[in-house]
Chain A
Amino acid sequence: MAENIGKVAGVNGNMVTVAFTGTVMQNEVAYVRTGNEILKSEVIRVQGKRADVQVFEDTYGIKVGDEVEFSGELLSAELGPGLLTQVFDGLQNPLPRLAEASGFFLKRGVYLNALDPERIWDFTPLVKVGDTVRAGDRIGFVPEGIFKHYIMTPFIWQGEWTIDAVVPAGIYQAGEAVAKASNANGEKRDITMIQRWPVKIPINHYAEKLLPEKPLVTAQRIIDTFFPVAVGGTFCTPGPFGAGKTVLQHAISRYADADVVIVAACGERAGEVVEILREYPHLEDPRTGKTLMDRSVIICNTSSMPVAAREASVYTAVTLAEYYRQMGLNALLLADSTSRWAQALREMSGRLEEIPGDEAFPAYLESRIAAFYERAGLVKLRSGELGSVTIGGAVSPAGGNFEEPVTQATLKVVGAFLGLSRERSDARRYPAIHPLDSWSKYTSVVNLKELDFARHILRRGSEVNQMMKVIGEDGTSLADYVIYLKSEFLDYVYLQQNTFDPVDASSDLKRQNYVFDKVSEVLAHEFKFEDKDEARRYFLELRQLFLDWNYIAEKDAKFKTQEAAIDAKIKENSANA
């Protein structure tokens, strides 16, 4: 095919207008050639014989008349073994290898293969000559970390294909053909371990989508108990800056019960990614004994990296998650922050001079956000196995105001809303998820009756607290005051959790149930106090015992002695004594 070349006719920020003569496809990748550099870009609008492309790089130095090459391919991700443990930018360039190529700084116009085609893998075939396969069917597998990484018929292939040849089990390079196939039209194609898929289109090569019901244990008490997340579900964590969104996301990425974790650092601080990059290779994954890095892929397009690539990064991330779902694995995608992605849409929409909606966001903001979260889901594969993609998105609302368009559009489509509040983070009550405003449509891991009662106490406690601010402590009855103290107690010993303490940072299902029963016992217990001072003192002491208990590992002998001390304390002021 002849090269399809256009010429630059205008530059406006990271948008370049190209005059072309041939044909141009919406969303195809184009390369702007300026000086010695080749800059990747994507077609986002065509008008007459002019195409607007968003450039994934800084646009300095581009001149009117520079050549632009249209590639004919949609923006795609490379899928295959070797994705795990990698660190990519939004366009799936491996950052560590970029650093080897160009040093401290991200030189523009340098693109590398996401996967090394020469890396060798131990391949075991699953098909034989004569088998009929469709896109997504398994050809064989290679071991990747603790998983069988299935090599599948490329997802973009249409119709039925017959296997003409397949290699015997053995060591092969990722880029080598492991099978050959042909279809009824006589077309012949090779299957390698690496395939490409356009990132903006969902991979849906499964039998059916199921309702997410099973909880995804995050080991964060306030989430699993009060606002659970489901395997294959969606949740969002909006919050003003400084409320602890990123710390919470890191805690989830560390402790969540998922097979593969994709962290998409989208338009946020580089420093936050660095923590993951430098720490995960040394942190043990409690589920497998390997490191956390072994189950992670990091897509990192931080705030100072080009804006257009930021828009692509969340799609790249969700495509990788969907790819692992096709292998029957549970993938968790954490995107921090979807607001930055929405802002990238806004910037581009502004350059296109589209009629703006609320706060200058484009009118299609809601549908884009909905389409993104809809890529999550629990699915039954054609093999009968289950796989899932769970999506958790951080939202950074302007001014911390949840009424803004991105938060509102997100709330419409997610299954759980973990709203972080400035008020709680100012009071150092972490995680600062608001226990009254947040909600979840999924089922909790603890006894539901006890949970209802705990919620009731929280609500009543908040009411009493409000009332006390108006009528004062002395105007409040002792009974009401005790309810307030109980709600504060629940807050301190259960809702709050210290991420920086090795024990308290993660609370598994068993422990949560155990401790929640004990906390519920306190909440339901009838106490007898002379006056408010006595009540306050009593609850402070009880709180202290519980806090210390939270810091003791379950297998530690002190766990039981501390529990005994708590039991004794509960009896002390019992109304039934």
Chain B
Amino acid sequence: MRKVYHNIVRIAGNVIAVEADNVANNELAEVISSQGKSLAQVIRLQDNLVYLQVFAGSRGVSTGDPVRFLGKRMQISASEMLLGRILNGCGEPRDGRPELNIDMVDIGGPSVNPSRRIIPRNMIRTNIPMIDVFNTLVESQKLPIFSIAGEPYNQLLARIALQAEVDVIIIGGMGLKYDDYLYLRNTLENQGALNRSVFIVHTAADPTVECLMVPDMALAVAEKYALEGKRVLTLLTDMTNFADAKKEIAITMEQIPSNRGYPGDLYSQLASRYEKAVDFDGAGSITILAVTTMPGDDVTHPVPDNTGYITEGQFYLRNGRIEPFGSLSRLKQQVNGKTRKDHRAIMDAMIRLYAEYKNSLEKQSMGFLMSAWDNKLLKYGKLFEARMMDLSVNISLEDALDLGWKTLAECFDKNEVGMKTDLINEFWPKAQDGKN
């Protein structure tokens, strides 16, 4: 039986300090207050003072309440039985079914030895042209969806989850609106995907600190499955809430904030989660898609900014469409050379022309006379938006490439698209040949 301590000397924010000895850094404890029992984690030791972050919050904690140290780190069951289950931010069932206590794994484990990683090599097909053609998603990639409140990011997540060819889907919800949680659960259930999914959900109604454990738990389970050879897709929504919870704790601990109140280690904190994405040599893989909402649609806000430096690209979801500018899959070069030989050329040419269309559009809106070239671009831009950018488009990569050539041929002459001549000769639609 572990010793129980009663001497709480400081309560501030969601952090309490208790006098205790023989306590290990980061170990778990239970705080029993009039509000019930809550898990807490050691975050700092100072002589005989132990600082704990209390997951259920410090409201109602009295200085005489008992604190019992558990002598272990946070763990989660990663057994096969977890599939189809729904847990809360403390790892307890929220689906009314019994608790799982087998195959426990530590959360927040060490990082993978870079020399044991392999170069990502498999494309994940989503049948969304803005992803498949322009910013191909790759197995083991970590990619955030930068968005703002009100955009259909959870719908996009659900669609990718259902269409992607993976073995297991793990959903980590942080500060998720209850409706969104129900939407995700029902969508997966209706499509018969719930039995290969794990939900770890912290809703907006739950205590803030509870969401701190969600990414670590989701990724610990993902890691275990991946080591067993499964291809795991981990969806995290919304990482901005996670960062805000970190900020709250840091401020309570009187850490010097670096930027807009966020702690100086925000980058490292985010990185240690995202870097769990991996393709194991001789085992499975973890792919991470994470929603990051940008307060005020500002990409230079510390959370999206640090995230962008960590992840392998990003998708901007704006006005219900994945933006062609700024959106980037850094790993696309690993796979798009092997799909079809015109893939890269179409990708570059279409985006470049779309950028020029935007210029022409700007000129038009300022009332300038449109040249013949401008008019070609205007026609092209509208077609591009309808055929490629619209999220309701659901076609395979190959069909999308063909549609790309068709669109180019409908709008431009061969020498106006800035592509290699031999590719143009091979792929330029024949029906349009007479024009040039």
Q: Residue-by-residue, is B348-366 near A (CB-CB < 8 Å gives 1, otherwise 0)?
A: 1001100100000011001
Contact (Cβ within 8 A) A275 B268: no
Contact (Cβ within 8 A) A277 B115: yes
Nearest CB in chain B to that of A543: its residue = B418
Q: How far is the CB of A3 from chain B (nearest CB, A)?
A: 24
> Which of A274, A304, A473 is the one whose CB lies under 8 Å from B363?
A473
Tell me if A269 is interfacial: C-beta within 8 Å of chain B. yes
Contact (Cβ within 8 A) A105 B113: yes
Chain B interface, DSSP helix/strand/loop, else mixed: mixed
Contact (Cβ within 8 A) B302 A398: yes
CB within 8 Å for A541 and B113 given contacts A13-B265, A304-B271 = no
Q: Residue-by-residue, is B364-405 near A (CB-CB < 8 Å gives 1, otherwise 0)?
A: 001011011110000000000000000000000000000000
Determine the distance from Cα of A267 to Cα of B272 in the docked complex, in whole angstroms. Answer: 10
CB within 8 Å for A241 and B309 given contacts A350-B256, A473-B363 = yes
Contact (Cβ within 8 A) A472 B369: yes
Looking at chain A, what size class is its interface with the partner chain?
35 or more
A504-548 CB contacts (< 8 Å) to partner B: 532-533, 536-537, 540-541, 543-544, 547-548
Q: How far is the CB of B193 from chain A (nearest CB, A)?
A: 28
CB within 8 Å for A428 and B416 given contacts A61-B25, A270-B117 = no
Q: Which residues of A contact B113 (CB under 8 A)?
A: 95, 98-99, 102-106
> Which of B300, B312, B420 is the one whose CB lies under 8 Å from A547?
B420
> Which of B44, B328, B371 is the one whose CB lies under 8 Å from A533?
B371
Determine the distance from Cα of A244 to Cα of B220 in the docked complex, in whole angstroms. Answer: 31
Contact (Cβ within 8 A) A11 B271: no
Determine the distance from Cα of A500 to Cα of B272 in the docked complex, in whole angstroms. Answer: 30
Contact (Cβ within 8 A) B22 A99: no
Contact (Cβ within 8 A) B26 A469: no
A43-96 CB contacts (< 8 Å) to partner B: 58-65, 87, 95-96
Contact (Cβ within 8 A) B111 A105: yes
Q: How far is the CB of A159 from chain B (nearest CB, A)?
A: 42
Contact (Cβ within 8 A) B119 A61: no
Contact (Cβ within 8 A) B114 A270: yes
Contact (Cβ within 8 A) A274 B111: no
Tell me if B333 is interfacial: C-beta within 8 Å of chain A. yes
Contact (Cβ within 8 A) A61 B300: no
Tell me if B110 is interfacial: C-beta within 8 Å of chain A. yes
Tell me if A346 is interfacial: C-beta within 8 Å of chain B. yes
> Which of B23, B119, B300, B312 is the one whose CB lies under 8 Å from A269?
B312
Q: Which residues of A contact B271 (CB under 8 A)?
A: 267, 303-304
Determine the distance from Cα of A304 to Cα of B325 in the docked complex, in whole angstroms. Answer: 28
Nearest CB in chain A to that of B327: its residue = A242
Tell me if A5 is interfacial: C-beta within 8 Å of chain B. no
The residue among B21, B114, B120 with the most chain A CB atoms within 10 A of its own CB is B114
A84-128 CB contacts (< 8 Å) to partner B: 87, 95-96, 98-99, 102-108
Count B interface residues, CB 8 Å: 81
Q: Which residues of A contact B255 (CB under 8 A)?
A: 350
Tell me if B173 is interfacial: C-beta within 8 Å of chain A. no
Determine the distance from Cα of A279 to Cα of B119 in the docked complex, in whole angstroms. Answer: 9
Contact (Cβ within 8 A) B371 A278: no
The residue among B117, B278, B280 with the most chain A CB atoms within 10 A of its own CB is B117
Contact (Cβ within 8 A) B119 A274: yes
The stretch of A201-209, A224-232, A353-361, A445-453 that contacts the partner chain: A353-361
Contact (Cβ within 8 A) B302 A105: no
Q: Residue-by-residue, is B267-287 near A (CB-CB < 8 Å gives 1, otherwise 0)?
A: 110011011101010000000
Tell me if B47 is interfacial: C-beta within 8 Å of chain A. yes
Q: Which residues of A contact B267 (CB under 8 A)?
A: 267, 303, 340, 343
Determine the distance from Cα of A492 to Cα of B416 in the docked complex, in whole angstroms. Answer: 13
Tell me if B4 is interfacial: C-beta within 8 Å of chain A. no
Determine the distance from Cα of A343 to Cα of B117 in the docked complex, in whole angstroms. Answer: 26
Q: Which residues of A contact B264 (CB under 8 A)?
A: 343, 346-347, 350, 360
Determine the distance from Cα of A312 to Cα of B24 in the docked complex, in whole angstroms. Answer: 26
Tell me if B339 is interfacial: C-beta within 8 Å of chain A. no
Q: Residue-by-residue, is B300-335 near A (CB-CB < 8 Å gives 1, otherwise 0)?
A: 101001101110111000000000011010110100
Nearest CB in chain B to that of A473: its residue = B371
> Which of A11, A58, A353, A533 is the one whose CB lies under 8 Å from B45?
A11
Tell me if A289 is interfacial: C-beta within 8 Å of chain B. no
Q: Which residues of B contact A304 (CB under 8 A)?
A: 111, 268, 271-272, 274-276
> Which of B326, B333, B355, B420 is the one whose CB lies under 8 Å from A242?
B326
Determine the distance from Cα of A98 to Cα of B374 in the docked complex, in whole angstroms. Answer: 59
Q: Residue-by-residue, is A540-577 near B (CB-CB < 8 Å gives 1, otherwise 0)?
A: 11011001100100000000000000000000000000
Contact (Cβ within 8 A) A63 B373: no
Determine the distance from Cα of A270 to Cα of B312 in the docked complex, in whole angstroms. Answer: 10
Q: Which residues of A contact B333 (CB under 8 A)?
A: 500
Tell me if A175 is interfacial: C-beta within 8 Å of chain B. no
Tell me if A184 is interfacial: C-beta within 8 Å of chain B. no
Tell me if B191 is interfacial: C-beta within 8 Å of chain A. no
Contact (Cβ within 8 A) A302 B275: yes
Contact (Cβ within 8 A) B348 A428: yes
Tell me if A22 is interfacial: C-beta within 8 Å of chain B. no
The residue among B45, B326, B328 with the most chain A CB atoms within 10 A of its own CB is B45
> Which of B265, B312, B331, B369 is the one whose CB lies under 8 Å from A347?
B265
Contact (Cβ within 8 A) A274 B275: no
CB within 8 Å for A274 and B418 given contacts A11-B45, A303-B271 = no
A318-370 CB contacts (< 8 Å) to partner B: 340, 343, 346-347, 350, 353, 356, 359-361
Determine the distance from Cα of A269 to Cα of B363 in the docked complex, in whole angstroms. Answer: 40
Tell me if B230 is interfacial: C-beta within 8 Å of chain A. no
Contact (Cβ within 8 A) A95 B115: yes
CB within 8 Å for A11 and B44 given contacts A60-B25, A269-B275, A427-B352 = yes
Chain A interface residues (CB < 8 Å from chain B): 8-13, 17, 34, 58-65, 87, 95-96, 98-99, 102-108, 240-242, 267, 269-271, 273-275, 277-279, 300, 302-305, 307, 340, 343, 346-347, 350, 353, 356, 359-361, 396, 398-401, 426-428, 469, 472-474, 492, 500, 532-533, 536-537, 540-541, 543-544, 547-548, 551
Chain B interface residues (CB < 8 Å from chain A): 21-27, 44-48, 73, 109-120, 140, 227, 255-259, 263-265, 267-268, 271-272, 274-276, 278, 280, 299-300, 302, 305-306, 308-310, 312-314, 325-326, 328, 330-331, 333, 337, 344, 348, 351-352, 355, 362-363, 366, 368-369, 371-374, 415-416, 418, 420-421
Q: List 24 A-B contacts (CB under 8 A).
A: A10-B44, A59-B25, A60-B25, A60-B73, A64-B23, A64-B45, A64-B48, A95-B114, A95-B115, A99-B115, A242-B328, A242-B330, A270-B114, A271-B312, A271-B331, A274-B119, A304-B271, A398-B300, A398-B306, A401-B300, A426-B325, A469-B363, A472-B363, A532-B371
Q: A87-B115, A300-B114, A303-B310 are in contact. List 11 more A-B contacts (CB 8 A).
A: A11-B45, A63-B24, A64-B21, A103-B116, A242-B314, A303-B272, A360-B258, A399-B299, A427-B355, A533-B371, A540-B415
Q: Please list the 4 inter-chain residue pairs (A to B) with the smallest Cβ-Cβ separation, ordered nearest first.
A: A399-B300, A303-B271, A472-B368, A304-B275
